[in-house]
Amino acid sequence: MTLIVQKYGGTSVANIERINAVADRVSRMRSAGNDMVVVVSAMSGETDRLLRLATEVHPNPPPRELDVLIATGEQETAALLSMALQQRGHDARSYMGHQVHILTDNVHGKARIRMIDDARVRKDLGRGRVVVVAGFQGVDEEGNITTLGRGGSDTTAVAMAAALKADECQIYTDVDGVYTADPRIVPDARRLDRITVEEMLELASLGAKVLQTRSVQFAGRYKVPLRVLSSFDEGPGTLITFEEHAMEDILISGIAYARDEAKLTVTDVPDRPGVAWTLFAEIGAANIDVDMIVQNVGADGLTDMTFTVHRADYDKALKILKKVAQALSAGDVIGDDKIVKISVVGVGMRSHAGIAATAFRALSDEGINIQMISTSEIKISVVVEEKYLELGVRALHSAFGLAGPPAAG
Ligand code: ADP
Ligand code: ASP
Ligand code: MG
């Protein structure tokens, strides 16, 4: 028996027609003799709608209650899909995260999966049942409902596949695979037949939302065979591979972007041991993740410290920074939440010089000013003004020759 875990994202279950189409596909695969576990997202727009409702009753919704609320979107689609499968003659069961026992930590809104008790699912599969699981949610040790962060149903699916040692985990979405850049922004982006887990992890964590970062981490850690496919069209999709050098001949695999960034600068910080620590300790204590950091040391013993945070944390970070700047007798605090981060990703960077120069030239040719730069072995990220997002992504995409006809299946 082949065990397949499939995940259907928001647009793939957006209405009854789409849910019926999903049920048809699952039904076909079940009838062909596969064991099927199906993870579903909420209907597209539903999680946003629930989040808006919450802010209408509370400007800063309590995280525990917010999770109880936003977990309902997935409950709805799980039940509907299970009914649609029963209507097609299958024995189907829908489960919430706590019923399957997806145990997480207690960090509401971005909980991490600790363990999955697969006994119940296995028992159902043994009885020939199709198991439908509500994505995005889990339960903490005290029985509180938790959610896994936006896009978290991907992680539910990959974690289920890991726990069940599934033969394949298939992520069905509204694009037919992983592309060299977001096809919504770059019309001539190309679908990749395969991508290494390492590159996929970079693309995801740098903003390509086709897979949630944590799901790729799970796939890497447990070697889950993972494929991204379209729920609208048939096709081979993109396979995430584990070979270290599978793409050696390919220099750059893709361009990613993150819109939701903001930049903060403290000027004239005294250049002495401990200042960075003082600054970032306060930011860290407020649970704010810091991304890029740049420090420019001036000749006068004063330095400018610039760093980026998630845009949602911008106001909070600004407030903290003003306080810390004063305590350090630093100069001004300057903030800018109209910036974006664009990144070039590829394992080929390890063995090739000149990638950064090509990237910077492409941006310069378009008159785009680079505000910050950060690099790692397989990526180069730049911060630019928000208005240059599309132009910058397209310029980099074409500078590395990524456009082209669709990859052969
Ligand atoms: P779902 O609701 O199915 O989980 P998401 O909206 O989370 O779907 O992710 C799919 C979207 O990811 C696509 O519609 C596309 O706009 C975006 N995306 C960003 N970067 C990429 C990329 N490199 N390849 C494919 N899709 C991408
Ligand atoms: N419904 C959740 C979200 O919109 C989880 C998911 O779709 O993966 O983020
Ligand atoms: Mg998603």
User: What confidence tens digit (pLDDT) does each residue in 196-209 have?
Assistant: 999 999 999 999 99
In this prediction, residues 166-185 reach a mean pLDDT of 97
Q: What is the DSSP letter of 42?
A: P
Which numbered ligand comes closest to the C-alpha of 22? 1
% pLDDT > 90, the chain: 87
Same domain, yes or no, for 153 and 265?
A: no
Residue 242 within any structural domain of the chain: no
Domain boundary among 174, 209, 227: 174
* Domains identified in the chain, total number: 2
> The dihedral of CA 166, 35, 178, 114: what is its sign?
negative
| pTM for the predicted model, two decimal places | 0.93
Does residue 179 form part of some domain? Answer: no
pLDDT for the residue 408: 43
pLDDT value of residue 352? 83
Which ligand sits nearest to residue 174's alpha carbon? 1
Exposure b/e, 277-307, CB count within 10 A at least 16 = b: eebbebbeeeebebbbebeeeeeeeebbbbb
Residue 45 or residue 289, greater confidence: 45
**Both 163 and 267 in a single domain?**
no
Q: Is residue 209 part of a domain?
A: no
Q: For residue range 43-62, what is the model confidence (pLDDT) as tens digits? A: 999 999 999 999 999 999 99
Q: Could you give the CA distance from residue 291 to residue 340 in angstroms, rounded to a whole number?
A: 12
Q: What CATH number has the domain bearing residue 390?
A: 3.30.2130.10
Mean pLDDT of the chain: 94
Q: Encode pLDDT of 357-400 as tens digits.
A: 999 999 999 999 999 999 999 999 999 999 999 999 999 999 99
Residue 247 reports pLDDT greater than 60: no
Ligand 1 atom with least separation from CA of 9:
3
DSSP E strands in 211-312: the ranges are 226-230, 238-241, 254-270, 290-297, 302-310
Rounded distance, CA 280 to CA 151, Å? 28
Tell me if 62 is assigned to some domain: yes
How far does residue 12's CA lie from ligand 1's centre (Å)?
A: 12
Q: Whose CA is nearest to atom 5 of ligand 2?
A: 151
Q: Confidence band (pLDDT; 50, 70, 90) for 299?
A: confident
What confidence category does residue 300 fall into, taking pLDDT thresholds of 50, 70 and 90?
Answer: confident
